[in-house]
Structure 1
Amino acid sequence: ERLLGAPDAGGTRAWRETTARTLQEEAVAAVRAAAPEGFQVLLHADPVSYHCGADAGTDPTHVLSVADGVVVPCGQGPDLLAPFARHAGAGTVLAANLPVVSGLGGRPAALA
């Protein structure tokens, strides 16, 4: 908001959220149409709207109403899983994505 101002930042966020929801719904529907019965569909998801990346600002309630679970970036700890855990049902998959490539900020030795 500081860079764009509240009106432009709000408009950008609303457009991004609508576009992301549509893409999530269409992607999951396409996979379900092509996959065998019982195939689980997981989406990469980050609940923080101001983070960078294609999955930033994912709405936990919506994404878990469409997909079978999420893969959440947890390189800084498990905190980003909490919003999804609050909306998880029986059988929901919550997976933590941990960076493992040291050149990309991962700490492989710390995973053991």
Structure 2
Amino acid sequence: ELIKMRRKNQITQVKLFKEFDKIQEKIVNKSKEAESMGFSSDREFAVYKTLEYTLDDAKGITGQIFQGIEEELSITDWQVKGEVKKSMRKNIKDVLRGKVESNDIQSITVSLVDLIKRN
């Protein structure tokens, strides 16, 4: 969006660089926050941030999820392998059972696998 604005001369180059600095600062702060909380990857932090407002022990549950899918994440090109993603969903569901409403488990699980895939 900023680049489009610059091309249309809607923003000065100085303002563009200041906005880039703000974006970079957000990225650095996000990484520092994730690291200070003990997360070893952006994937883990993204899952935690997704769960933190709906589950009491989001940090612990995030850890359990990643322990459960550790093997699948080590498979090359797991993102395009249906059986691997199916196994991941099963493992995530196992962790979430009893912690979220049973009606919500499927949608949360699909969302989390998609989130992990994107990160």
Q: Could you say which structure has the higher strand fraction?
A: 1
Q: TM-score, normalised by structure 1?
A: 0.28
Higher relative contact order (CA closer than 8 Å, sequence separation 6+): 2
> Which of structures 1 and 2 has the bigger CA Rg?
2
Relative to the length of structure 2, the TM-score reads: 0.27
More helix by share: 2
